[in-house]
Amino acid sequence: MRIILVDSDGDAALAATLATTCPGARLIAVGAHALAGCVDTADVVVLGPASVASDGVLELVARLRRASATVPVLAVGADDRAALAVALLKAGATDYAVAGTDELVAALRALVADPPALDTRDRPIPGLVGRSRAIAEVRALVRVAAGTDAHVLIEGETGTGKEVAARAVHALGTRAARAFVPVNCAAVPEGLAESEFFGHARGAFTGAVQERPGALRLADGGTLFLDEIEDLSLALQAKLLRVVQDREVRPLGGATVRRVDVRLVAASNRDLWQMVESGRFRSDLYYRLRVLTIRLPPLRERRDDVPALVAHFVARFNERRGTSFAPPGPHACRPLLEHTWPGNIRELENTLEASLTLAHATGADLAEVLRRRPSGGGGFWADERTRLLRVLEAHRWNRQRAAAALGISRVTLWRRMERHGIRDPLAAAGGETA
């Protein structure tokens, strides 16, 4: 095995670690300027701390990737710098480790024991489907986040898969064996929010007949996922900040403080920084949450992934229903590729679920069902307002059933109705619209 060490300072400690961890390997130390001729014959390339700290390290990694798409590139930094690690992984590094740590030894052993036959920077992650560069970068960031215990902020439009990414961060990390507790902040009633998050003691208020632990204690040792965190009140934001800082929870009406060890993964479909600037979100909590940030792109920015997503949802439908539908071919997928998908992956999933259900019930071919579906405005659905109206009318304005059909909470549906000025025509007549 040939290991190329790129380090201008001639790091003796790193060289010794390489020799000890990879006995029998041939270690070749070169400068960055002499690297081009060595890459094709290398089994592993290791960038030492001096190279990693240099201003041109990202361009160096990019050059390595252009020279070889398959050779593993291990970047070794002098300290644990998450932002730098993310940038290096985006540029093409296979892994990042800190010099002098067990993590470095483990990374080296993994590369030596199982050298990748192809570019393993983008191994599959359940639910994060597609081959586009955009989703590949998301998968890289998820792996980086999973390798740390820092809080994470996931940003993206509704339906882009924020909870899927959050669950992947948890499942791939050291807390995977402990609880993953999801809370939709928009769906928590204001009067019950404190009890929902912090728990309450017996007798804390009327109806509190027994102690309730709350989401933070339920997630102790694991991960608390705060979806739609932009809907938290400023008062609750202040109390959550205190927990983040002190790692202590006092239940509502309780006399004792409980220690908690919780990792927070928050998600927002709005620009939190704009909310900070307008005074609607606390800046101190914002900075605490966005130690690492993952942005999920809308589906219109990764339309090349639509066929892979279609195949994924068809396979999942087959598994759940015991059917044997084949994914539609390129011609049947054309309208799916042309649509802008304002509801993103969730809209695509719901569209396929409806089409597959109809095909299964009627015995029709899936491709034929897709061709017959009504389209408007260049796709299956028009704008969000039209889509909301169609679903509400289909469910006789029952918001609970309409929200379930859309894959959102009842509160979120209500907020979108308000945003688009949608009024319930049955309310004035005393109709049932719960």
So what's the pLDDT on residue 118? 36
What angle (nearest 5°) sits at the alpha carbon of residue 156, between those of residues 381 and 69?
Answer: 105
Q: What is the distance between the alpha carbons of residues 145 and 132, in angstroms, rounded to a whole number?
A: 20
Q: What is the distance between the alpha carbons of residues 259 and 263, in angstroms, rounded to a whole number?
A: 13
- The low-confidence residues of the chain, meaning pLDDT below 50, are 115-121, 375-382, 431-432
Provide the strand spans (E) within 185-295: 223-227, 248-249, 258-259, 263-268, 292-295
Q: What is the distance between the alpha carbons of residues 171 and 388, in angstroms, rounded to a whole number?
A: 34
So what's the pLDDT on residue 230? 94
Residues paired with residue 252 on neighbouring β-strands, in sequence order: 200
So what's the pLDDT on residue 42? 76
pTM score, whole prediction: 0.61
């101190």: which residue's tokens?
Answer: 284
Helix, coil or strand: residue 16: helix
So what's the pLDDT on residue 427? 65
Fill in the amino acid letter for 283: S
So what's the pLDDT on residue 116? 44
So what's the pLDDT on residue 98? 86
> How confident is the model over 2-36, as pLDDT tens digits?
788 887 666 788 888 888 888 777 777 777 665 66
So what's the pLDDT on residue 99? 86
Q: What is the distance between the alpha carbons of residues 149 and 153, in angstroms, rounded to a whole number?
A: 13
Cα–Cα nearest to 89, from 115, 108, 129, 61: 61
So what's the pLDDT on residue 282? 93
Q: At what angle do helices 410-419 and 384-394 cross, to 10 degrees?
A: 130
Q: Is the separation of the CB atoms in 373 and 355 below 8 Å?
A: yes
Q: Is the separation of the CB atoms in 130 and 98 below 8 Å?
A: no
